[in-house]
Amino acid sequence: MCRLDPVKPCGASPCLRELRRLPLQTVVQVLLPLGQTFCFSALTITILLAAPAPSWSESDNDAAIKYDFDDPPDTKHRLIRDLTYGSQTTLGFEYEQDYDLDRGEDDDLATLEPELEVALSYDPAPWFRAFANLDLKRQFPIEEPDGRASQKTRLRVKEAYVTFREVLQGVSATVGRQEFKDEREWLFDEDLDAARLFYRNSNFGLEVSVSREELLDKDILNEESVDHINNYFLVGRYALGEDSELTPFFLVRDDRTSSDEDLVFLGMSSTGELTSDIDYWAQFAHVRGSEDGADIRGYGFDVGATYTLDVDFEPSLTLGAAFGSGDSDPDNKDRNFRQTGLQDNNDRFNGVTSFKYYGEVLDPELSNLFILTAGVGVRPTKRSSIDLVYHHYRQHQASDDLRDVSIDEDPDGRERSLGNGLDLIVGYREIEDVSAEAVFGLFDPGAAFSSDADTAYFIGFEVEFSF
């Protein structure tokens, strides 16, 4: 499910003459400091045809207990009239062991990463908003392998946009650097320089967009190399009753660099409730285009459901299957499916916090893979959760290459069984303005790796304070 409603509907529908009622001095004061980001980042136009049906949003109670560490701070504190701010600080710890699947090599990595994030929101009228989100972070190594590049302090402009709500009846617009994120982050989880135009009507929705990652530099302190890829996105939305929706999508990735990767994605997703106890997801996509002279033709899907018992501790069972087509000889026509390159594959089942649902250690892109997932979970309290998730990995076609995985070892190209993963995820939100998450993961290599390949481990902890 694509989150096509970043603009909350306002009560009135102001026309163009209401736009002129905003004092010129106010408009200039808002746009001048932000102009370099907004005006030159305006590469996306989005049209949303989606009714603001309450059934499409999480209930207030559920929204209060779900948490994503990537969300910007809630701007709940007032500085001056119409200007509010929010801030949060995060401390993260990660430990990776034997990601080369060789215990004899010392490649363990342990890092500590503090982060400070500040968001500002200017809302002088019901139909206008200016928003900015900046974060300051640095990774400090506790243990690291030889030859690892030194880490730099980063000050990033994560988001900086203006929103015009209901400029015409049912039409809203957002221009600037903004978050693109679908429900399961299967397509998007990226901050893109964009401009969006939204139109809502009844139970249908339609979004059209053109965007680019870092049209202007995101990191103020350091220069970074970024691929120049234009994204053209079309997505529809249709409410299937009160608790489900259908979302067709069409995406063009136009690579303007020398890599010559031009891809077209066409697909459909649906999420919601089958019954009051069963939540489901279903995502299908076909990709075609060209890359380095080879024709791309691939397909993939991800389907699954979570069954939750309506008793104390809310025990739940999740089953899922994901498939991305492969090709053992991709020289002339490459039938390997690949995701958009903007995905993060991060979501939750019935817990309070999200996690890498293809595995915390392997964390693969869905390409030439079959992934079987089974998970169980409980809610010890309303604002805490424990999930235990198992993954089985198998290649569609035997290959000595894995696309975008976290481990450092390649399979042998003869066997298809990649191995198994197991993750334990604990989320805690019982203390107001405090969120914590602990993750333990492992990947046990299968027959596609050497017989003496060792198990890889991951330990992560993150705590966030909002103020």
pLDDT in tens, 352-367: 999 999 999 999 999 9
| pLDDT for 130 | 97
pLDDT one-digit tens code per residue, 143-198: 998 878 888 999 999 999 999 988 887 788 899 999 999 999 999 999 999 988 88
Q: Say whether pLDDT at 21 is over 60.
A: no
Tokens of 338: 């690949």
pLDDT score at 407: 96
Question: Which sign, positive or negative, has the C-alpha torsion 304, 309, 314, 316?
Answer: negative
Q: Which residues have CB under 8 Å from 12's CB, separation 6+?
A: 126, 127, 166
16-466 maps to CATH 1.10.10.10: no
Flag the least confident range among 26-40, 293-307, 374-388: 26-40
Residues 367, 323: contact at Cβ < 8 Å? no
Q: Is the pLDDT at 3 greater than 80, yes or no?
A: no
Q: Using one digit for the tens of pLDDT, what is the confidence trace for 78-118? A: 999 999 999 999 999 999 999 999 999 988 999 999 999 99
The residue among 324 and 240 whose pLDDT is bigger is 324
Identify which of 52-56, 233-237, 378-382 has the greatest average pLDDT: 378-382
Is the per-residue pLDDT at 31 higher than 60?
A: no
Mean pLDDT of all residues belonging to the chain: 85
Q: How many CB atoms lie within 10 A of CB 100?
A: 17
CA torsion 431→185→441→98, rounded to 10°?
-130
Cβ contact 320:326 at 8 Å: no
pTM, two decimal places? 0.85
